[in-house]
Amino acid sequence: MSDAKVTMSARRTTRRLAADAALLVVAAAFVLPLAWVLLSAVDADADLRVKAPEEFTFANFDAVLVPEVTFTPLLNSLILCGCATLLTVVCAALAAYPLSRYRSRTGRAFLATVLFTTCLPITAIMVPVYALFVQVELIDTMHGTILFFAASQLPFAVWLMKNFMDGVPKELEEAAWTDGASPFQSLLRVVLPLMGPGVAVVTVYSFVMMWGNFFVPFMLLLTPEQMPASVSIQDFFGNRGTVVYGQLAAFSVIYSTPVLLLYLLIARRLGAGFALGGAVKG
Amino acid sequence: MSSAPAGPRRSLARALPAAPGVVLLVLFLAGPIGYCVYLAFTDLQLTGQAESSFVGLANFREAFGDEDFLNAVWLTLVFTVVSSLLGQNTLGLTLASLMRRASRPVRTLTGGIVVVAWVLPEVVAGFLLYAFFRREGTLNAVLDWLQLPVQNWLFTLPILAVSFANVWRGTAFSMLVYSAALNEIPQEVTEAAEVDGAGGWRRMWHITLPMIRRSIGTNLMLNTLQTLSVFGLIWVMTRGGPGGRSQTLPLYMYEQAFQNHMIGYATAVALLLLVVGSLFSLVYMRLLRMEA
């Protein structure tokens, strides 16, 4: 009996070591491109290979931290994604309320449509959106791009928001109702404050998705001065002659940091059960 | 309150908060989709031509007779199968099951690195992997060090390079889905199988996989839908080249619209992509209903 136990635990240790080794191999493969960007950003003489910087320097950051390379595109990104996120979250919270609080056939049909739209490849409709925006003169405007961004992220935001809202018990609202609060007041004063973490997840998730989105601004904006960082980063190739990889790496680090930090903020709530929030649970 | 029978006026009042969202969705999502269906049957061009005319199925006939289109369909298929089905899905499941056995620091480290690759903006991921696969890049440095033959990956095997790039970028999602699914398998089930002497592979095949089959379905659907719409990653790495050898449908569509100025034709291609996406979407919803 005890022999069996010993072999069992010995086998477990072996298996743990084997699993550790396998994971470390994968981690090493995944970390190489990340190591390149971090090391190149502080390398005075960066090329395309991962290598320790011969000369450690912040010159690359100094070179890109000027208005036309970094600050303007980042500000554009912030305006685009900030406004669109605000619009998405407000519309999603309002739309989720009747969906979560009342059961009706229309509501169910609407929710099914929302879920269906969540999965559609938005990339596919960008050519018609471009053609449409030319017709209605929304092309190359920030507000047009913001409205489209908000609409494209809205289905998923409604879906998430509704699932989070379902978690707020109705009884808590009834007190507010008896005090004569309108549904709007009870949404604002009772429901939303109780689902703060849920609202945070929807907000951060929408923002992160838009911040990284390349195709939408690439199609809908034309003027270089309006371009967000996701598109302007291409200027490191072509327009400026030879590519200065160190500066490209430094810019990539600056541009990526906000979303990495935001993700950390909500990572624990998304956690292992992330899987698109309630989406997988239905 | 909600149990009281609701008249039409009352249900309208209740639905009122949804109005701004509905307006936004109708104008900026349903509108373009409807316009997409309409445009696909016209010969609209980009070059200042005043009007377009209805051309019936001509765009679709042209597409299926065009070698470049068929090439793009084939490459999209390869890209989807290699990067989503085989790559992200299998690697995600492997990582998730290895993590259950691994020690905590290794688990956290690997998970962290894989997730960072996923959270990075698409274009940045594109640049990192461009650098990785270039002739003078890291991959060849590693191969050289291992004394294996090097080659110019973005030229010789561009579709494989962008597929691997998509695996690098997208595996975290599968890993998270499968970690969650595996955590829900009761410990006793695994232990009972272990005591019965079922080996690792047999346990996986006969017990684990059947128990998480719904997560597998969901994950495959979402991966495939995401992979079908990848544009920026490929654009940054190869622009669809060289010679169209990594030109998947979204890149083909873009080229037809903006280099050849054939908006109507490009929209027909877009519509095909949208239809394929809708079919996957419907299957996905079906899977969710089975689960509920």
CATH (domain of A189) = 1.10.3720.10
- B14 at A interface, C-beta within 8 A: yes
- Residue A129: partners with Cβ closer than 8 Å, 6 or more residues away: A148, A219, A220, B32
* B42 strand-pairing partners: B54
* Cβ pair B236:A234 closer than 8 A: yes
| B250–chain A Cβ distance below 8 A for any pair | yes
The interface predicted TM-score of the complex, written ipTM, equals 0.85
Confidence of residue B88 (pLDDT cuts 50, 70, 90): very high
Chain A residues closer than 8 Å to B33 by CB:
120, 125, 128
Q: How confident is the model at residue B156 (pLDDT cuts 50, 70, 90)?
A: confident
Helix (H, G, I), strand (E, B) or coil at B229: coil
pLDDT greater at residue A79 or residue B244 = A79
Are the Cβ atoms of B180 and A274 closer than 8 angstroms?
A: yes
Query: Is residue A78 packed enough to be buried (19+ CB in 10 Å), middle (13-18) or exposed (0-12)?
Result: middle
Alpha helix stretches (DSSP H) within chain B: 8-15, 19-25, 31-39, 58-65, 67-79, 90-101, 104-119, 122-133, 138-145, 153-156, 158-183, 187-195, 200-203, 209-211, 213-228, 232-238, 249-258, 263-291
B190 to chain A, any CB pair closer than 8 A? The answer is no
Query: How many C-beta atoms surround the C-beta of residue B148 within 10 A?
Result: 10
Query: Is there a single domain that holds both residue A73 and residue A204?
Result: yes
Confidence check: pLDDT of B5 > 70 = no
- How far does the CA of residue A42 sit from the closest CA of chain B (Å)? 15
Same domain for A129 and A84: yes
pLDDT at B221 over 60: yes
Give the separation between CA A134 and CA B7, rounded to whole angstroms: 43
DSSP A68-83: IIIIHHHHHHHHHHHH
Contact between A61 and A254 (Cβ < 8 Å): yes
Distance to chain A for B35, nearest Cα, Å: 7
Q: Are A256 and B232 within 8 A, CB to CB?
A: no
Do B289 and A282 make contact, defined as CB atoms within 8 angstroms? yes
- The answer to whether the CB of A245 falls within 8 A of the CB of A63 is no
Q: Which of A25, A57, A89 is the last residue of a domain?
A: A57
The pLDDT value given to residue A273:
40
Contact: B2, A103; criterion CB under 8 Å: yes
pLDDT number for residue A3: 67
Give Cα A100 distance to the centre of its chain: 25
Which chain A residue has its CA at the smallest distance from B15's CA?
A98
A176: how many CB neighbours lie within 10 A of its CB? 17
Token pair 């949404």 in the structure block, residue: A187
Please check whether residues A26 and A161 belong to one and the same domain.
Answer: no
Q: Could you tell me what percent of chain B has a pLDDT over 70?
A: 94
Q: Residue A174 contacts by C-beta under 8 Å, 6 or more apart in sequence? A: B1
Position A178 scores a pLDDT of 82
Residue B55 clears pLDDT 90, i.e. is over it: no
Q: Do A30 and B114 touch (CB under 8 A)?
A: yes
Peptide bond into A33 cis (omega under 30): no
Query: How far is Cα A62 from Cα A75, in angstroms, rounded to an integer?
Result: 18
Instruction: Check: CB of residue B258 under 8 Å from CB of residue B46.
Output: yes
Q: Does B161 touch chain A (CB under 8 A)?
A: no
Domain's final residue, options A57, A72, A95: A57
Interchain pair A121, B277: CB under 8 A: yes
The C-alpha atoms of residue B280 and residue B57 are separated, in whole angstroms, by 24
pLDDT at B94: 92
Burial of residue B125 (CB within 10 Å: 0-12, 13-18, 19+) is: buried
In the chain, the amino acid numbered A1 is: M
CA diameter of chain A? 80
The verdict on A215 and A193 lying in the same domain is: yes
Domain boundary, last residue among A57, A76, A104: A57
Q: With CB atoms and an 8 Å threshold, state whether A123 touches B110.
A: no
Of B132, B141, B263, the CB nearest to A33: B132
Average pLDDT of the segment spanning B125-144: 87
The answer to which of B6-10, B26-30, B126-130 has the lowest mean pLDDT is: B6-10
Pair of tokens at residue B258: 């903006």
Domain borders along chain B are 58-291
Burial of B207 (0-12, 13-18, 19+ CB in 10 A): middle
pLDDT of residue B15: 81
Give the separation between CA A93 and CA A194, rounded to whole angstroms.
13
Across the interface, which of A23, A36, A158 has its CB nearest the CB of B106? A23
Mean pLDDT, rounded, of chain B: 85
The beta strands (E) that lie in chain A are given as none
Q: Report the residue of A127, A146, A213 to disrupt the B interface, i.e. the one with the largest count of B CBs within 10 Å.
A: A127
CA dihedral for B254, A251, A248, A41, sign (positive or negative)? negative
CB atoms < 10 A from the CB of A265, how many? Answer: 12
pLDDT band at B202 (very low <50, low <70, confident <90, very high): confident
Among B15, B179, B285, beta carbon nearest to A272 = B179
Confidence of residue B167 (pLDDT cuts 50, 70, 90): very high
Nearest to A23 among B17, B98, B274 (CB): B98
- The Cα A91–Cα B19 span in angstroms is 8
| pLDDT recorded at residue A281 | 33
**B27 contacts on A by Cβ (under 8 Å):** 147, 151
B131/A23 Cβ within 8 A: no
Determine the pLDDT at residue B49.
Answer: 58
Specify the CATH superfamily of domain B58-291: MetI-like (1.10.3720.10)
Looking at the structure, do residues A110 and A179 belong to the same domain, yes or no? Answer: yes
Residues 6+ apart with CB under 8 A from A154: A88, A91, A92, B21, B24, B25, B29
pLDDT over 90 (residue B82): yes
pLDDT on residue B1: 41
Q: Is some CB atom of chain A closer than 8 A to the CB atom of B31?
A: yes
Q: How many domains does chain A have?
A: 2
How close B146 comes to chain A (CA, Å)? 14
Per-residue pLDDT of chain A (282 residues; tens, 9 = 90+): 566 667 777 877 888 898 899 999 999 999 999 998 998 888 887 778 787 788 888 888 888 888 888 899 999 999 999 999 999 999 999 999 998 888 888 888 888 888 888 888 888 899 889 988 988 889 999 999 999 999 999 998 998 898 888 888 888 888 888 888 887 888 888 888 888 888 988 998 899 989 999 999 999 999 888 999 999 888 887 655 577 888 889 999 999 999 999 888 887 666 544 444 333 332
Matching residue, tokens 């925006």: A133
Whether residue B107 and residue A101 make contact (CB cut-off 8 A), yes or no, is no
A12 and A140 in a single domain? The answer is no
- pLDDT of res. A239: 54
Q: B185: distance to nearest CA of chain A, Å?
A: 14
CB contact under 8 A, A48 and B131: yes
How far apart are the C-alpha atoms of B256 and A28, rounded to whole Å?
Answer: 40
Burial class for B47, CB neighbours closer than 10 Å (0-12, 13-18, 19+) = exposed
Q: Which residues pair with A106 in a beta bridge?
A: none
Residues A23, B87: Cα–Cα separation, whole Å: 16
Q: Which residue has the higher pLDDT, B8 or B25?
A: B25
pLDDT at position B50: 58
- A21 lies in which domain range? 1-57
* CB-CB neighbors (< 8 A) of A87 in chain B: 24
How close, in Å, is residue A194 to chain B by CA atoms?
19
